[in-house]
Each structure stands twice: as C-alpha cells, then as structure tokens.
Structure 1
C-alpha cells in the first residue's frame, strides 16, 4: 500500500473514535473520495525598500503555474504581496499552497509555510532559493520542486489529485516515511517555451497593471530562458541552464495581442533579450509590423548588442524606451574574474550608441568584488556619472545560493549574515576582502547620493526633463528612507572596529503578522467545522 502524508487540522477532531491534534503525520491511510482541486499560489514580499519598490510587478513563476493548474481543472488563486495583501481566509480553504521564493523573500516564505502547516495545509515550495537549498526548505514545507516546474508541477498536481504517488515526479524533494530525505533526479528534458500558455494575470488578487514613472501600464513578458554566459554571481544557469531557449515569434506576438490598443509598456523579463540576435530581430520586426500592439518596451541586454546597427535601428523603430545593462565595474580584474566578457571601452561605446539611437540606458553596478578598493569603487561611480547613462543602481555583491560566488565564499567561511531578509543586494552579508563591511556599505550609499545629487537634479529641472526629474526625486527619497529604516543596522556596522563584521541579525520582528493574520482568518471561518476531520492525503 502506498504511504501517504495525512494532513490533519490542528483542532481536536474525531475520526473513528480517535482524537488527533497534529500538524501532520505519516502513515498508511485510505484515500478520501474528495479530490484535491483548490490551489493557492503565494509570492511573498521582500522586506525593506529597494530600487524597484514602486514597481509592483509579479515574477512569472507563480502566476504561470496557476494558469496551468487552472487549465488542468484546478481552482487557482494567486497572491503577490507586492500587488495586494494575502487573503488568508482564501488560503485556508486551499487543498494545496504553493510558495515561490527567491533568497530575499525566503525568510518570509518560511514563516508562511510554518504557519500554514500548523493549520493542516500542505505546502510545496519552488523558485531559485529552494532549488539550491532544498534540505533547508524541507524544515518548513512538505515538498520542494526544484528548477523550472511547468511540467513537473502538473505531474505533481495530477498525482496528488488522483491519489497516486508523487514520488516519481522529477525534481521533487521530500521526506519519506522513514524520516529520510529524497531528492528525485532533475527532469531529463527542459520545457519547450512554446508549449506554455500566456500567464493569466487576472488570477492575481488585486491585479492591476503596474505603472512606472511614465503613464504606460507595465506588462511582464518572457521571450527567452537560459543564458550562454557564466557570470559567477548569477544563478540563472543553475536554475534554467546554459542553453538559451527562445519562444517563437508567433507565440510571443499572440501573447502581446491581448494588450493591443491598450498602450502598454512590455517589460521583457529575459536575462539577456538579445542573446539570440536573430530571434530578437525577428520578434522586433513583427512588433514593428503590428502598429498598436504595444506602446514601448524595455529589457535587460548586454553591451555587445550595441555593436549591431540593425538591432539598434529596430529598437528605435519599435520604441524601446530603455535598456538595463549590467556594467558591474570598471575594474578590469573584476570584469575578468566574473566572466563578464566586456571591457570599459566597449561599455562607453555601448552607452554612446544606445543614446544616439534614442534608447536610454539604466546602468547596474556592483560593489564588493575581491579587488575592489575605495578608489576603484569611486572610479566606477565616476564612470556612471560621466558616461551619459540615464539612471543607475549601485548594488552590493551578494552571495546568492546557486552561484559559484556563494560556493566559494561558503568554503572560505566569509558569509557572516544568515538572515535572508538582508539578501537584497543593499546590505553587506559577507566579509569583504581588503575593506571593511562599513566601507563597502558607505561606498554604496555615497554612490546613490552622488549619482542622484541635487546638482544633477537641478539640471533636469532646467532642461524640463520632467520624467528624469521625477526619477531623481524618487531615488533621493528612497535612499534617505532606506538609511532611516536601516539606522540600527548601520550603527552596528559603525560599531564594528575590526574590518570584518561577524553578526547574527534577528529580523523575526518582520513576521509576527503572518501567524496572527492566519489565526484571525481561522477564527472568522470557524475553521475547521467542529467534528470534521480534514483529510488532505498526498501519496509518496
């Protein structure tokens, strides 16, 4: 007989004269006749402020999986905390809760999973963080689905809803009945992107297209997955592979057709939109041939695409408003060690060519690489100010799980802060080389202050560039508010006399709302109905 995880309400209930009070147990049980058909997906919110705090955009994983589940006959709800608060009464009615998390949201995701399991709700987690930290995540949830999950999640749902074993699902991690951990091998094949439906954003509670500093509603779209490059601080290859996969032109256009005439800004979530230039040009030509399809668009690219005149022409014709480029540093050693495959001369020329084509550049820079000195970080800031880029963000190197950077620092015992709430590229969580944690943090704050200085803000006012002026005002306020919010953290850094900070930071105060809100929702629902045993068996 198959072994099942039996989820029992934490309330005292009676079944065949036996009382239970447990968050979950393993054993051989009979299937109930009721199928599991109600799914809730949750995308937790990252704590604290960051450069995109104003952009309430969902990641695509949770809503895409919910769309697939809906198409497979499940009732699906999606909560993206950046869009709207979670309705815990809806969540408590679910047969299964999926939580998608990146490293910066992992602490909150784990708090959610703990509280839900205590209420008898089975939880499955996915996303980049738990893909690389499955054993850690299984202390909080019942299942982890590693890697991209569009195929494997459907296999899991089909098995769970029909009472079949889930132990065959590729990429699944779980505890079996003997309290040992099982990590199923990854799928042998990758997802064909053209087989996936367009994500149905209407499944997201409170959904309304986000707006940037302009007036256009922003719609997230994905045209490619994977990355042929190998930056040491990036987990894309570990999550999606090195081979670049591209959606067909017609498949992307069909998705964009849903927004025709609505004046939307399409933000392509691709890690490198022009990695396959042939496919990118084919798509842009189709957009150019379809007036009214979208109003403007943007995406991440590398500097090398600026050397292609045809690409720049198509970007201009299709109203690419801006591109996001990871310049990272002007330190040649950093560029070489991180496998960026670019140099400072090429970076300067790329900005010049994009600007001439009418495409604004948002530059992304990272401080804290080995070999970075205060002088080198200042030189990187000078490049950002003098290069002509339209906007910039200055981030602190962060050793995210799943990256070669993380593995190296872990082996060297240089990761000193374990609370994932700080893994937002705005806090120092590791031991820098050659400089103190305080120096690194100050360099990052000073970079934002100088780039978005009052003097440069005044230039925007005098030139009547109202959008850029609004951006500078927003960035200056964001930086000031961040420093206020992090006053205790900054004082801790300042108090550290040694160059290396070793501290365990307690961010638990961010999370008491979860248990309280779930408890209130349970009371409001009178959950569960007295005398009813809530069986939610999943066979392993």
Structure 2
C-alpha cells in the first residue's frame, strides 16, 4: 500500500472457493480498556448488522474487545478465518492496526470500516488490505463475494441507502461475541439527524435526512431480541418537524400493540418534551429514559456549535425537561465542556 507506516502483507492465504469463516472485530484502545470493560456490556451494533447481511453457508463470529483485549489474537489464530472485518472509532484505531498487523502477518485478509476509516481512509489503508468508507449495507455483500474469490479490492465506497426500500438496518439479534455475552440488546429504527451540530459526526457520516426503517421490520426484530432491555441507538429518535414526530408516534403505537414488553432507552432532541402524546406513548411502549443534548445554557456557545434547535428552545429548557418527566421518562443530559462558560 506504500507509505512509511505500511505493514507488508504475507500472502499465504488461499481462497477455498466455498463457505468462508468471517470474524468481525470491535477494537478497544489498551489505555482505555478499563473504561470500556467495566459496566454494562453494550453491543457494537454495526457488527451485528453486517452479520445479518452474510448469507449461508458463510459463518460469522464477533470478537468484541469490551470484554478485554488479551485474547483477540489467539481467537483469530485458532478460528480458521478467511476474512477479518474491523470497525473502529479513532480512539481504537491504534489497536485496530495491531490486529491488522497480526492478520497480515498470518496471511488473513483484513478490512477496516467504521467512523475512523470514513474520516481518514488513507491512514488505515497503510495497515489493512482493504478499507470500506461510509455505510456498508450495500457494499458488504460485494466485499464478502470478492474475498471469497480472492480478489479483495483496495477500497470500497458505501452510500446512504434508503433503509425502508432496501430493507437495511436489521441486526442479527442474539448473536453474541465468542469472547463474552452482552447485557442488553441494541436496535436501530433510523439513521441521520437534521440538527447538524458542529461538534457531531452524525450528520457528516449518516446524513442530515432522517432515514427510517419499515415499522413492520422494526417490530419483527424487536420481538427477536433475547434481552429484556433495549438500547435504541437512533441518532435522533423523535426528529425535528411534524413528519418525523408523526412517524415516531406511529412506531410507538406499533410497539405498544405488537411488540414484546421491553424496557428501553434512546437518544432524542429536546423538542420531544413538547409533545405530551409522544411522551405518553413512549412510556406505555416501555421507554424509561432518553439522552438529550442540552449542550449549553449560553446562547453564544449554541451559535458557535450551530445548535440552532436548542438556541430556539433555550428559554424553555426547564419546561421541556418537565415534559419528559410528566411522561414518566427520565432525562440524561449531554453537556459540552469545551467552552469556558
């Protein structure tokens, strides 16, 4: 791949031309291992989504380093894998490169995707055989096919697909890592956020348009979860504007009517506190907490971060939070500390 940091690939692997064993790895930085490995074990949903897109007879294992970093190389060495896919945030990139060095040193094709690969694709290209940039729903089947044929490309570029029309976004619920067991389930009903905060990667990575999944498919996945608690990982569950609000209410009604009883938590914008009906439905559907970005009480800070929604609602912060509480939903707030006041 060129460059001073490149790690030479040892091309010892031979494509079997048949069923493959695939490992999907979530790397954790060694220096933050305690932070990630103590407390609730939450799935890296993207790996479960990719697993859902792999058709039999191929087999998929997940290795998640929230359960520790010590055994990963041993598991990869003993697993007989034909392809290793690694996700990762920037915080775990150095560890991802260690995993790539092991794979390439043992002749196992390896590819990196996720936010870090999207942000600086040339860097992981120095370490991995291939890089996947952007959302991988549409390109992952091609990556698997190319790996099976022994013709993995240097780079694959994904798009932002229509989740409803393409039937994308579902995860393999119940697929736990071979090195641990998750405490909760994760599920995503939509991607993207229109708020566009300057400090947030969501709008850049997943777009400013909220793309929804088909409600029937969400309920089907909801009912296959093997945990009593679900983290609904939407970037903005309620969204902004009447169209998004009505869709959220429709989903909540469907969960109440057709979904198994689960307690759940999600992320939303502050304006949801204005909608008494939505709050009532959320509680009845099992929601007990929402993460809400307050960010700052200083209008100048909100302007600097392009947090226009909160700027409009600044005078109503308490009233809106009270709206969540009246509905029976607790509020976890996100607050920025990068400005002096």
TM-score over 0.5 for the pair: yes
Q: For 2:106, which of 94, 119, 131 is the aligned residue?
A: 119
Q: Establish whether residue 41 from structure 1 lines up as the match of residue 24 from structure 2.
A: yes
Q: For 1:328, which of 290, 295, 319 is the aligned residue?
A: 295
Q: CA deviation at 1:116?
A: 2.1
Q: CA deviation at 1:227?
A: 1.3
Q: For 1:77, which of 61, 86, 101 is the aligned residue?
A: 61
**RMSD of aligned Cα (Å):** 2.7
Q: How does 1:49-448 map to 2 (within 5 A)?
A: 49-50=34-35, 53-69=38-54, 71-83=55-67, 86-92=71-77, 93-163=80-150, 165-167=151-153, 174=154, 186-187=157-158, 190-193=161-164, 195-196=167-168, 197-210=170-183, 218-259=184-225, 264-275=228-239, 276-290=244-258, 293-340=260-307, 341-343=309-311, 344-368=314-338, 372-373=339-340, 376=341
Distance 1:363 1:72, change over 3 A: same
Distance, in Å, in 1 between the alignment partners of 2:160 and 2:328 is 41
TM-score norm. by structure 1 comes to: 0.55
Unaligned runs of 5+ in 1: 6-21, 168-173, 175-182, 211-217, 377-540
Three-state SS of the structure 2 residue aligned to 1:94 is coil
User: Which has the higher Rg, Structure 1 or Structure 2?
Assistant: 1
Q: CA deviation at 1:207?
A: 4.5
Three-state SS of the structure 1 residue aligned to 2:138 is helix
Distance 1:166 1:96, change over 3 A: closer
Q: CA deviation at 1:24?
A: 2.9
Distance, in Å, in 2 between the alignment partners of 1:127 and 1:342 is 29
1:499 equivalent in structure 2:
none
Distance 1:52 1:76, change over 3 A: closer
Q: CA deviation at 1:162?
A: 2.7
By relative contact order (CA 8 Å, sep 6+), the higher-ranking structure is: 1
Note the alpha carbon deviations across 1:15-49, whole angstroms, 9 max, x for none.
xxxxxxx74369xxxx8654471211100124425
Three-state SS of the structure 2 residue aligned to 1:327 is strand
Distance 1:295 1:157, change over 3 A: closer
Distance, in Å, in 2 between the alignment partners of 1:54 and 1:225 is 26
TM-score norm. by structure 2 comes to: 0.85
Q: CA deviation at 1:366?
A: 1.2
Give aligned pairs, total. Answer: 321
